[in-house]
Structure 1
Amino acid sequence: MAPARGPGGKEVLVHEIDRTDEYNKFIQDLTAFHEKRGTAFDPEPRLPTMHGHVNVDLFKLYKAVVDKGGYDELNKVQKAWGALAGELGMYFADNKGMGQLSFQLKQDFYRYLAAYWVQDTYGREPPPKEILEQQSCASKHGPVLTRTLENFKFSMRRAEESPTRDERPPESTPTSGNRASGRLREAPPQRVLFQPDAASNRQRNVSSHHNTPNSNMTQNNYHGNHTPQNHHHLPQQHNPNNPLHVIQAQQAALRGASSSFTPGNTEIASRLGDPIEPRPPISVPLRPVNTPGNNPVEFAKRQRLLKAQAAALGNVQVQARPVQPPGEYSFLCTEDKMLTRLAGFDGPNIYTRCLQALRSGIPAEQAFALNHLVKISYERGDKYKFDSFLGLAEGLIEKALEVGNLYYDVDWRISYSGEQDSSNLAVLDGLDGTSDILERIQTLKPKAVLDHLQPADFSDRLLRITEAVLTMRNMVMLIENAIYMAEVYPLRDVLCIILHLPDLEMLVEIKHFALDIAEQVTPWLLLDSSDPLYRTLLAQLNSTDRGTILTALRAISRISMNLEATNKLENVPVGVLQNINNWLLLNDEELMDACLDFLYQYTAVVANVESLLGAVNMENLVPHLVRLLAHGAKRVKEDKILEPEKKALCTEEVPPLPFDLHEQLRNTDEPTRCFSWLKTLFEEDAESHITQIAIWQAYQGSFGALAGVRSSLSAADFIRNVSHVFQHARAQIIRGPGEVQRFIIEGIRARTVPCHYETKEDYARCQWQIVKGAVEKRCNQFYLGGEQMWRHTLIAHLGIPIDENGKVENKEVTTSCDWACCVKYPTPRPLKLAELTRHIKTHFPAPQKRLQQDGPELATKRPRKSYITPAKTMSLTWEKTVVTSDERKPNVEQAAGIPLSAVLVLRNIARNIVKTESEEELLKQHEISGESGGWNEKLFRPVMTRLFEVMTENKALVGFYFLKYTHIFG
């Protein structure tokens, strides 16, 4: 299951079907059970969840319900089905959606698994389908496990005998039952004002003559408490000689039928005016029976099966069932009567209405049906399936065949007899398809049709035909519909007919719809080289329309993709192969990808590689495919860390103040001198500290002992000045376990090398080795920049003077380079001074940019910390092509796109070209000329350098390269 987010925001699992062997066996047993029982069965019902529609794993659902005690026990617990849906990975954030989801989940178990559960778990015969599957799970007819015909009829009878709302006691009569049960008061019936009779006085007297006090009270109660309704009155038997009946008949004839007044004396009153409550309409379950008219696909399968059996038996004659004429429908009804339209019956739903209107043949009805079918197929394509509406596919195909009469003198029609009549060109074979459909189309004589000017009737007919094809195109986008239409052989004939229509602009749209249908259906078809649809799709590759070429290439490349059979792509014309070779040179990624998919399927067959060698120049094709290995590649740069960044340890050793700064600061007043000294020798570090005595002694050592220095600060003022210079530095007192108090300044540390307080340039330490007696030590003087360091080294260490103009005589000196760790001139040797100084300058630091002089950008840049040694890195660059990640291994990148398709084509060529006859001929020619190697050597040796380069940089394609090189160079 794929991870997702549930209602609480937590990561949850989405319900998916685990197609294990145990699951497949369970579905097979369940299918056989429903076939024997005669009930409908959907092995993968769909449910709407907050993550989209999911197919229900009936095996998981069955095990989960059984583990919880069964269907009846689960119904006893409130919201148990909703909790079960959550356990199975079905979620909804709102209560309304969750309620609908739980009800549909319960309905799926009730419809497909309840009967099987009774038989499988308890070994009992399940209740009949009339009281189980044909009833809703929302009906309260008792538990499923103990449901029988007797208790089911008893529950139905109790429901019919339960008092209706009109029969309940009025509100004026309080009952204890209502108060005890806590039920709310029901709304009183609506009052209807009394309407006096507009008949003559004589008639009113006649009516009042029969009214007694009892009847008057009954009359008032009736008019006051009864709400008249529109009822259907059934005729009652009466005596025609009774004068009362004659008078009532005369009154009814004068004032019309009325139920607002009924005499109360039932002994002398007629019952014609009694308000009669008719029986409600009975919902009769109907089930369509498969006939050749409404399900010709099923009967076509049976005819093909009988033919196969006859071919297997040889001389044994197998007689096929007689086929009924199309259009016949039969239904199962509980009564042997025609179902009539009852009062309040809304008629068929829109789906059935459109289906019957389409099959009626009436133009107005078909226009209504096709207009709605286009909308339904586009908006509800995920639920609109051909197998649920038998006859819909055949109706759309028959409508699409009418396009032949618009442009040719032919009326195409389909015959399901199983015998192909070649004498009548207009009759198509509905069982096995018309094998000579292309030859029949070529014999037709086209009509004279103007492309941009047509009659209204012509345009209307073409519009309806286009809508029929568009409906099929929208519906086959669903996999179930595509599989269904792959078994409908007349669809192939329709596609061939549409794609061979004249080249008119008015037909561009319907041809593109036909190609879209072919693209979705061909993965489920096995087409050989002589199949009319295969030849028709190859013919579309000679078109100049990019959309036609693109869709046709995809349809051809997907032939039998979802079947076990191999798509061999035989007998492809030479012109088509040359066109594909030229299209690869275009800067059109979508077309290029379709061409590579075609070549991948085509080069997988050895005979096709032989044909490709004769059709195109392979020595030009292979280098172009190698160039496509880096298609869309981007130059990627990545810094690899060789040594990580290091941070020097914090010490209380303060470096000495450089001589030039000492000369500048010795005559500076306080506290400016203190500020400059701190900025030169210290820097901020939140993780370090220095003791107050150490920093004070360092300051005193720099200025306090020298003569001529002006008065210095006190220790307390100096410590306060530290906080003024460094914002985050603060004086503290700390005491560790077993230690005495220490006065420190937290947030600063001594610099490893001094820094000029104005220019922020780092000083460099002179590392020239000085030998005094038996002691060898370094100079360790600090100088700003390489120029001062060079002058110091010449004068102090080499003893070479510099004239007033700053020039040095290039004389020969005998000396060595005593810079620390230098091995260039370890021993004294005679050298020219220019050569020696060029070497010595390599030890000096490079000149630094002064931040204040380089603009505000560098001035605001954070200065580098002296106590941090930067990491040593190495920059790597390579070409990165399109990659994708696998859901099972998200961290592993896999090749994708045009580079992957190109390397697969190259691998097929390298693998199969050595098996062709051309390989043997080339080897014989090389033996005569003294050369070596075959086609692989000839094609891949010139591009070997590029192949190794791409293989080195593109990690995702390395595996394919190794396989390819195995076939190329053995």
Structure 2
Amino acid sequence: MAPKKGSAADKPYIHEIEPTAEYDEFIKKLEVFHSARGTSFEKSPKLQTMYGHVTVDLLKLYKAVIAKGGYDEMNKIQKAWGALANELGMWFEDNKGMGQLSFQLKQDFYRYLAAYWVKDQFGKEPPPKEILEQQSCATRHGPVATRTLESFNQTVKRTGTDTPVKETQTTDNTPVSGNRASGRLREAPPQRIPFQPETGPTRGSRQASSQHATPNANQGLTTHGSQPPPPHHTPQRHDPNNPLHLIQAQQAAIRGASSTFTPSNPETASRLPEGYETRPPITVPLRPVNTPGNNPAEFIRRQRQLRAEPPAPARPIAPGAGFDGPNIYTRCLQSLRSGIPAEQAFALNHLVKISYERGDKYKFESFLGLAEGLIEKGLEVGNLFYHVDWQVAYFGTDETEDIGILDGANSTGDIIERIHKLKPKAVLDYMQPADFADRLVRVTEAVLTIRNMLMLQENAYYMRDVYPLKDLLCIILHLPSYEMLVELKHFALDIAEQLTPGMELNSEDPLYRSLLAQLDSTDRGTILTALRAISRISMNLDATNKLQNVPPSVLQNIMNWLLLNDEELMDACLDFLYQYTAVVPNVESLLSAVNMERVVPHLVRLLAHGAKRVKEDLILEPERKDSASEEVAPLPQDLQEKLSSTDEPQRCFHWLQSLFEEDSESHITQIAIWQAYQSSFGGNNRNTLSAADFIRNVSHVYSGARAQIIRGPGEVQRFIIEGIRARTCPLNYETKEEYARCQWVTASTPANQKCGIFFPSGEKMWHHILTAHLGQTAGEDGKFENRELEVACQWSHCQRYPQPTKVQLSQLTRHLKTHIPLPQKRGLAESTESIAKRQRKSYVVPAKTMCITWEQTLVTKDERKPQLDQAAGIPLSAVLVLRNIARNVVKTESEEELLKKEEHGGESGGWNERLFRPVMSRLFEVMTENKAMASYIASLLQLVQQET
């Protein structure tokens, strides 16, 4: 049964072609067979399933049908083809879809594989294609393997001449019950076309006569007044002995009235027209035409009117007719320079779109006069708020000229003073006349176009030499503080940000002074853009951005903004301070404007901005594996007593679990393990296992252990057990707890050997050391007296008390507990830690690691050394500002004054001592824990310490 619909992961198997050598050879045989037979062959037929189309693997289909007894045997079983489709991975949930799929699968076998099956399996010639491939698989012409031309002719004669029996008679409205009973699809009844009377004119057209000569899709209909032929009418056969005529006669009888246009062989017909959908009829509006036939009076009237009226004179061609005109770029430029308000509105509306959408190709140098036109339009903003009409003169200006004339050749140096002298107009911020609002919108669009175009670097290089643009920026930035002008001022600041990297501005430049004035604003966007524009002055030039004459109020504002939790604003302030503190006079001004003793600790705190703790495990010694030994550890005394009273083979099982463990890379000789077992229980009165039974039990306890015989080059053969090894310390087979070995070395043992006795717990080992090795005796209460002893710790490799030393017994026992290992339980522990210990083998010595942690701030990759991380972001900017302060503060006049006070009994040290001494420990800490910042902190500490 087909699976339920679900996700793609739930599908058990989907039929697909497996391109193997056997498949390719099979397809080649089929192509040669069908080519010699003269029949069509499709090597990859497609079937529709519930998961989409699948391509039928003809080799799988052929083998599956043969395995079920062949084509004829499957036709005898109801729903056999549907079951085969499921087995091959073709799924459908509903019965209707499964019926169609099974019929198509049966038809593909019948068309492409049935004839080959007869020849391949029975070794005889298959039936002719006229009675096999050219017939449908749903027809009743007997089994394929035994079908002959004579039996086929008899079937056709019986169908065409004899009276059909009751079971095979079918009516137009009754489906074939026999087909339903056999599991096959019903045959569609002949199509009935209702009678449609003629509604056209009585006179025949030319097209009607041609339609009688050419057959088309409507020839199935009879002429007017005639009756359609009966559905079972059999056409006359020309040659009764010709099987082809018999086939056509039978198909014509089945098709009925529409048989003329049904292909002679529907099985070999193409399937492409099945998906074709006819176009709907196109309705064409019709209007009556006055002709002498249908309206002679109106036709004569119009003819007389045409003869009476003289012909109209030819009109002259209007200028420019037939010429498309300039492109949109030239049209906008000319409209902008025309001065006509409507044309300028059209031009600016399109220029804003063009500069935004085509900013990568729209350049000022390609359109001469565009920059000047936009600037002139932007200067109209002065007339909106002041009694002035700004004009640009490109041939120099005299001092006696009007205040509204700007110097276009060298820029206007006193533009700010002129602005202060202007008389403002009475303008309401929230209510303006329509003409005023329209003019302000046009000015804003002109400035926005400049701003969009300057985002392209080539346009920025071009506009930095257009001096009227600087005057326009100063005029806009000094407009009144109205909300209607916020957008316009932001556009001006964006323009300044793109221009300043290629400009050298001194402290008296009007644009520089205008940008500094914006730092008194309370608008975050204004402050950010102004700080960026100031910090980028002459960034692309060799000249130094000195940033002189910065007002103290601006410096105090910058220090206050550093305290805010705003990364973008802090970054802009630190960029400004880095440029500002690079000049010695600026550091002098900074010392007098702000309290640097509070600023420096905050800059040091910013060194860890966004830092996170990073942990890394360093491997000091890699993990290693102890080599296997033939020596088996002795069985502990408590296990010896417990196992002595246990019967075989259970005693052998427990003994193996206690003294051995699995290791696929190790082995032990059979004689060594047998001797160890004999030494443990050989003297017991109970009967022990034989050697063969013992070796066999090893494989029962450890599934990976197996007895083998090996022989090396020049060696005698050895009998080993591979897959196990002896434990270094025994294991309690019940509690899964390892025993601990006493490693006390005494002079009484030969060659200073270790004690080597195993104990199940640390308490028993501690009691053993005190009594057996130190000679102490417990009291009646089981406690030892705390007395002073003169002893040496003889634990193996202990360096704590190598020589006899007088110590209290309590102090010595605390030291002895450091040698006693904690027991490791290897049972089915509940905790994660115990599970990890259980999974680790006892013969594996874990790696020695050391965990280190450090601080990591924002880093970036170095293009020259990609493997190294370079510091970046706010911590880097903060350390660079601190380094500028440490380098330049000792060169200021304030440093000399502070040193003079030191000579008169003041505090020793200069400004570096006062500023950096309180934060030295933090600087060393950052240098130690932050690898990316270490080199910068080291250079800062070097500057601080060499001066102090």
When normalised by structure 2's length, the TM-score is 0.62
Q: For residues 776 and 396 of structure 1, do their structure 2 counterparts lie closer, same or farther at Cα, with a shift above 3 Å needed?
A: same
User: Aligned partners of 2:398 and 2:705: how far apart in 1?
Assistant: 101
- 1:409-443: per-residue Cα shift (whole Å, max 9, x none)? 33322221222566322222221112121122222
Q: 1:400 to 1:719 in 2, by over 3 A?
A: farther
Code of the aligned partner of 1:933: G
TM-aligned CA deviation for residue 476 of structure 1: 1.4
Match of 1:956 in 2: 932
Match of 1:355 among 312, 333, 336: 333
1:461 corresponds to: 439
For residue 760 of structure 1, the aligned residue among 701, 713, 736 is 736
CA contact (8 A) 2:332 2:346 kept: yes
* SS of structure 1 residue aligned to 2:839: coil
Letter in 2 for 1:874: M
Distance 2:520 2:537 in 1: 19
1:878 aligns to 2:854 (yes or no): yes
Give 3-state SS (helix, strand or coil) of 1:956's partner: coil
CA displacement at 1:567 relative to structure 2: 1.0
Alignment pair present for 1:785 and 2:761: yes
Q: Tell me how far 1:833 sits from its aligned partner.
A: 3.9
The structure-2 alpha-carbon separation of the partners of 1:672 and 1:486, relative to structure 1 and needing over 3 Å to count, comes to farther
CA shift for structure 1 position 907: 1.8
**Aligned equivalent of 2:616:** 638
Q: Aligned partners of 2:552, 2:465: CA distance in 1, in Å?
A: 32
Report whether the alignment pairs 1:498 with 2:508: no
Give how far 1:686 is off: 3.6
1:854 deviates by 4.3
> Is contact 1:759–1:852 with CA below 8 Å preserved after alignment?
no
How far apart are residue 918 of structure 1 and its match? Answer: 1.9
**2:580: which partner in 1?**
602
Distance change (3 Å), C-alpha of 1:828 and 1:633: closer
Map 1:787-936 → 2, pairs under 5 A: 787-802=763-778, 806-810=782-786, 816-826=792-802, 832-848=808-824, 852=828, 854-855=830-831, 858-859=834-835, 863-929=839-905, 931-936=907-912
Contact 1:666/1:710, CA 8 A, preserved across alignment? no
After TM superposition, give the deviation of residue 897 of structure 1 in Å. 1.4
**Structure 2 residue 920 is the aligned partner of structure 1 residue 944:** yes
1:668 is aligned to 2:650: no
**Cα distance change of structure 1 residues 360 and 661 upon mapping to structure 2, 3 Å threshold:** farther
Check whether the contact 2:474–2:510 (CA below 8 A) recurs between aligned residues.
Answer: yes
CA contact (8 A) 2:824 2:837 kept: no
Structure-2 change in CA distance of 1:858 and 1:411 (3 Å):
farther
Q: Displacement of 1:580 after TM fit?
A: 1.0
Per-residue Cα deviation, 1:622-662 (whole angstroms, up to 9, x for no partner): 22222222222222333333333332222222222222223
Alpha-carbon distance, 1:861 to partner: 6.2
Q: Distance in 2 between matches of 1:931 and 1:360?
A: 74
Distance 1:531 1:482 in 2: 19
| 1:389 to partner: Cα distance | 2.2
- Structure 1 position 560, deviation (Å): 0.5
Task: Give CA deviations for 1:4-50 in whole Å, capped at 9, x if unaligned.
Answer: xxxxxxxxxxxxxxxxxxxxxxxxxxxxxxxxxxxxxxxxxxxxxxx
User: AA paired with 2:744?
Assistant: W
Contact 2:736 2:825 in 1 (8 A): no
1:439 aligned residue: 417
Superposition deviation, residue 526 in structure 1? 0.8
Cα distance change on mapping 1:580 and 1:832 into 2, 3 Å? closer
CA distance in 1 between counterparts of 2:808 and 2:938 reads: 58
Question: Which shifted more, 393-402 or 752-761?
Answer: 752-761
The CA distance in 2 between the partners of 1:491 and 1:688, in whole Å, is 87
The CA deviation string for residues 706-750 of structure 1, in whole angstroms up to 9 with x for no partner, is 4144643x5455445444544544444444444444444444332
CA deviations 1:210-252 (Å, max 9, x no partner) are: xxxxxxxxxxxxxxxxxxxxxxxxxxxxxxxxxxxxxxx9999
Q: 1:916 & 1:744 partners in 2: Cα distance?
A: 88
Partners of 2:833 and 2:939 lie apart in 1 by 53
Closer, same or farther in 2 for the Cα pair 1:837/1:461, shift >3 Å? same
The alpha-carbon distance between structure 1 residues 832 and 413, as it changes in their structure 2 partners (threshold 3 A), is closer
Query: Contact 2:738 / 2:825 at 8 angstroms: preserved in 1?
Result: no
Rounded to whole Å, the distance in 2 between the matches of 1:463 and 1:552 is 24
Judging changes above 3 Å, is the alpha-carbon distance between structure 1 residues 741 and 480 closer, same or farther for their aligned structure 2 residues?
farther
Pair 1:428 & 2:415 matched: no
Give 3-state SS (helix, strand or coil) of 1:878's partner. strand
Q: Give the stretch that moved more between structures: 887-896 or 728-737.
A: 728-737
Aligned length: 643
Equivalent position to 2:684, from 707, 711, 722: 707
Q: Secondary structure at the match of 1:843?
A: coil
1:254-333 maps to which residues of 2 (within 5 A)?
Answer: none
Residues in 2 aligned to 1:474 and 1:407: alpha-carbon distance in whole angstroms: 25
The residue that corresponds to 1:749 in the other structure is 725
Asked if 1:539 is matched to 2:510, the reply is no
1:576 aligns with 2:542: no
Q: Which amino acid in structure 2 is aligned with residue 684 of structure 1?
A: E
Aligned counterparts of 2:603 and 2:591: Cα–Cα separation in 1 = 15
Check whether the contact 1:652–1:694 (CA below 8 A) recurs between aligned residues. Answer: yes
1:435-488 CA-to-partner distances (Å, cap 9, x unmatched) read: 121122222233333333334443333333222222222221221111111111
**Displacement of 1:574:** 1.0
Q: Structure 1 residues 816, 419: CA separation in 2 closer, same or farther (over 3 Å shift)?
A: closer
SS of alignment partner, residue 594 of structure 1:
helix
> How many angstroms apart in 2 are the aligned matches of 1:353 and 1:571?
47
Q: Using a 3 Å threshold, how does the CA distance of structure 1 residues 830 and 962 change in structure 2: closer, same or farther?
A: closer
Residue 941 of structure 1, CA deviation: 2.6
Unaligned 5+ segments in structure 1 are: 1-197, 201-248, 258-338
The answer on whether the counterparts of 1:678 and 1:722 sit within 8 Å (CA) in structure 2 is: yes
Q: Any conservation in 1 of the 2:377–2:443 contact (CA below 8 Å)? A: yes
Percent identical across equivalent pairs?
70
Counterpart in the other structure of 1:681: 659
Q: Which residue of 2 aligns with 1:166?
A: none
Residue equivalent to 2:630: 652
CA deviation map 1:142-196 (0-9, x unaligned): xxxxxxxxxxxxxxxxxxxxxxxxxxxxxxxxxxxxxxxxxxxxxxxxxxxxxxx
- Aligned-partner Cα distance in 1 for 2:722–2:770: 42
Which secondary structure does the structure 1 equivalent of 2:854 belong to? strand
Secondary structure at 2:817's aligned position in 1?
helix
> Kindly tell me: are residues 490 and 796 of structure 1, through their superposed partners in 2, closer, same or farther at Cα, counting changes over 3 Å?
same
Report deviation, 1:367: 3.1
In 2: Cα distance, 1:798 partner to 1:761 partner? 27
Paired AA for residue 463 in structure 2: M
Cα distance in structure 1, aligned partners of 2:624 and 2:886: 52
Cα–Cα, structure 1 residues 831 and 411, in superposed 2: closer, same or farther, change >3 Å? Answer: closer
Q: Give the one of 352, 362, 369 matched to 1:391.
A: 369
Deviation sequence 1:377-428 (CA, Å, 0-9, x none): 2233222222222222222222222222332333322221222566322222
* CA spacing shift, 1:503–1:769, aligned 2, 3 Å: same
CA drift at 1:256: 12
Q: Deviations over 1:253-283 (max 9, x none)?
A: 87999xxxxxxxxxxxxxxxxxxxxxxxxxx
Partner-residue secondary structure (3-state), 2:933: helix
How far apart in 2 are the matches of 1:420 and 1:608? 37
Closer/same/farther in 2, CA of residues 364 and 718 from structure 1, 3 Å limit = farther
Q: Which residue of 1 aligns with 2:128?
A: none
Q: Which structure's CA Rg is the greater one?
A: 2
